Structure 1
Amino acid sequence: MIADILLEVVLPIFVLIGFGVIMQYAFKLDLYTLAKINFYYITPAAVFMSMYESEMSPQLLGTVSLFYFLYILILYGISSLIAWRKKYSRGMKAAFTNSLILDNSGNYGLPVNALAFKGDPLAGSVQALIMSFQSLLTFTYGVISIQGAKSNGLYKQAFIGFLKMPVPYALVLGLLLHALALPLPVFISQPLVYAHQSMVAIALLTLGAQIIKYPLRLNRLDVYLSVLLRLLVAPAVGITIVLLLDMKGIAAQALIIASGMPVGVNSSILAEEYQNEPDFAAQTVLISTILNIITITALISLAQYIA
């Protein structure tokens, strides 16, 4: 089973990431444009179609929301305790917490889900919902934690950033049209389908091009602590919550796998944008993504056994 997961799910993902790395070395891709295409077209289209074709009941929607709330709350508590024990500065605490709670559920998590579940609509809907929650968290807590609650215009800036995000609108619109059972005209649905189908390749190529921006350094113990929490403790928390909520089947498996994503690129982007521990943030993204080859393979296998 593990060999099948490695060959059919994990290796295709890292082959695409590798192509992104090679293309970045060879052609110096315009990462700004790639990121915009992903953020404003590919990902919203994938989220919309996942919600529009969703098989998620209102009860499951509430359960997934509860899972995510508990999951983030526990991870925040763990990171705050460690930051207090290690006497981190305010800036380092923000960077450390972001590395734990802001994972790569978008341009990595969505492709992993699509390959692991072979495009299952219910699994895709669960992952799309988690990714949407992550986007909200990034542009609210993620920004606030780095800027500091007393910065001038902070809350206004965070709110404006939230309103500019296309993913929440795609999520709500997809759910609304699904609930109303409204058919989409072909001239609208077909471009969305094309974008959704391209999501795996484009997102992973972009990720590969992004992560080689960061030089690999192996001398920061705080980085290893963050990666350990992200790749091992976070999935353990996710599994525990799934069991406590007595979830079973595809949705439970999708949540378990979603809890094992590497550190999100957004944590590094925020760190660079506000010059808050950018080296630490970059290293957690790079190292956790590399080591995720091992951990996500094991987690996919474990999810099938547990749920």
Structure 2
Amino acid sequence: MITDIILEVVLPIFVLIGIGILMQRAFQLDLYTLAKINFYYITPAAVFMSMYESEMSPKLLGTVTLFYVIYVTALYIIGRITAKRRKFSRGMRAAFTNSLILDNSGNYGLPINDLVFKGDPLAGSVQALIMSLQSLLTFTYGVISIQGAKTEGLYRHAIIGFLKMPVSYALILGLLLHALDVPLPVFVSQPLMYADQSLVAIALLTLGAQIIKYPLRLRRFDVYLSVALRLLAAPAIGILIVFTLGLEGIPAQALIIASGMPVGVNTSILAEEYQNEPDFAAQTVLLSTILNVITITGLISLAKLVA
């Protein structure tokens, strides 16, 4: 089973990331444009189609949302306690906590889900919902934690950032049209399907181009601590919550795998944007993505055995 997972899921993921790295080195790709294509077209289209074709019941949707709330809360508490014991500065506390709760559920998690479950609509819907909730968290808590609650204009920026997120609108519209059983005309559905089908390749090429920006340094203990909590403690918490909520089958497997994603690229983007521990954030993104080749292989195997 592990060999199959490596050959059919993990290796294709990292081959595409590797191609993105090579293309970035050779051509100096326009990362801003790539990110915009992903953020404003490819990912919203994939989320919309996942929700539109969703097999999630209202009960399951609520359960997945509850899972995410408990999961993020647990990681937040761990992050704050660890930061306090390590006597981090206020800025470092925010960066460290963000590295635990802001994972790469979008341009890494969605392709992983698609390859593991071979495009299963139910599994895709679960991951799309997790990614949408993660985007909401990024542009609310993620911004607030860095800027500080008393910064002038903070809440306005957070609200504006949230309102600019097309993923949220795609999620709601997809669920609404699914609930109303509204058929899509071909001139609408076909471009959305093309975007959905291109998600794996485009998202992972972009991720490879993004992470090569960050030089790998192996001297910061705090980076190792963050990565260990992100790749080991987070999935352990996810498994515990899945069993506590009584989830089984594909939803349980999808959530267990979703809990083992590496640190999100948005963590580094926010750190750079607000000049808050950008080196630490960049190192956690890069190292957790590299080491995830090991941990995600084990987690996929475990998910299929226990759920």
**Which residue in the other structure is 1:130 paired with?**
130
- What CA distance in whole angstroms lies between the structure 2 residues aligned with 1:77 and 1:7? 37
Alpha-carbon shift at residue 168 of structure 1 (Å): 0.3
- Pairs aligned (count): 307
**Which residue in the other structure is 2:107 paired with?**
107
Alpha-carbon shift at residue 253 of structure 1 (Å): 0.2
**Which residue in the other structure is 1:64 paired with?**
64
Alpha-carbon shift at residue 265 of structure 1 (Å): 0.1
- What CA distance in whole angstroms lies between the structure 2 residues aligned with 1:228 and 1:94? 17
- What CA distance in whole angstroms lies between the structure 2 residues aligned with 1:216 and 1:71? 29
- What CA distance in whole angstroms lies between the structure 2 residues aligned with 1:229 and 1:279? 18
Residue by residue over 1:249-281, the C-alpha shift from the partner in whole angstroms, topping out at 9 and shown as x without a partner, is 000000000000000000000000000000000
**Which residue in the other structure is 1:52 paired with?**
52
State the TM-score, normalizing by the size of structure 1. 1.00
Alpha-carbon shift at residue 77 of structure 1 (Å): 0.4
Q: Is the counterpart of residue 173 in structure 1 residue 192 in structure 2?
A: no
Determine helix, strand or coil for the equivalent of 1:217: coil
Q: Is the counterpart of residue 269 in structure 1 residue 295 in structure 2?
A: no
**Which residue in the other structure is 2:4 paired with?**
4
Alpha-carbon shift at residue 210 of structure 1 (Å): 0.2
Residue by residue over 1:67-117, the C-alpha shift from the partner in whole angstroms, topping out at 9 and shown as x without a partner, is 000000000000000011111111000000000000000000000000000
- What CA distance in whole angstroms lies between the structure 2 residues aligned with 1:69 and 1:142? 15
Q: Aligned partner of 1:123: which letter?
A: A
Q: Is the counterpart of residue 76 in structure 1 residue 76 in structure 2?
A: yes
State the TM-score, normalizing by the size of structure 2. 1.00
**Which residue in the other structure is 1:249 paired with?**
249
Alpha-carbon shift at residue 19 of structure 1 (Å): 0.2
**Which residue in the other structure is 2:35 paired with?**
35
Aligned residues: CA RMSD = 0.3
The percent of aligned pairs where both chains have the same amino acid is 81
Residue by residue over 1:132-183, the C-alpha shift from the partner in whole angstroms, topping out at 9 and shown as x without a partner, is 0000000000000000100001001100110010000000000000000000
- What CA distance in whole angstroms lies between the structure 1 residues aligned with 2:29 and 2:166? 24
Q: Which runs of 4+ in 1 moved over 6 A?
A: none
Q: Aligned partner of 2:175: which letter?
A: L
**Which residue in the other structure is 2:218 paired with?**
218
Residue by residue over 1:180-237, the C-alpha shift from the partner in whole angstroms, topping out at 9 and shown as x without a partner, is 0000000000000000000000000000000000000000000000000000000000
Q: Is the counterpart of residue 234 in structure 1 residue 234 in structure 2?
A: yes
- What CA distance in whole angstroms lies between the structure 2 residues aligned with 1:66 and 1:277? 31
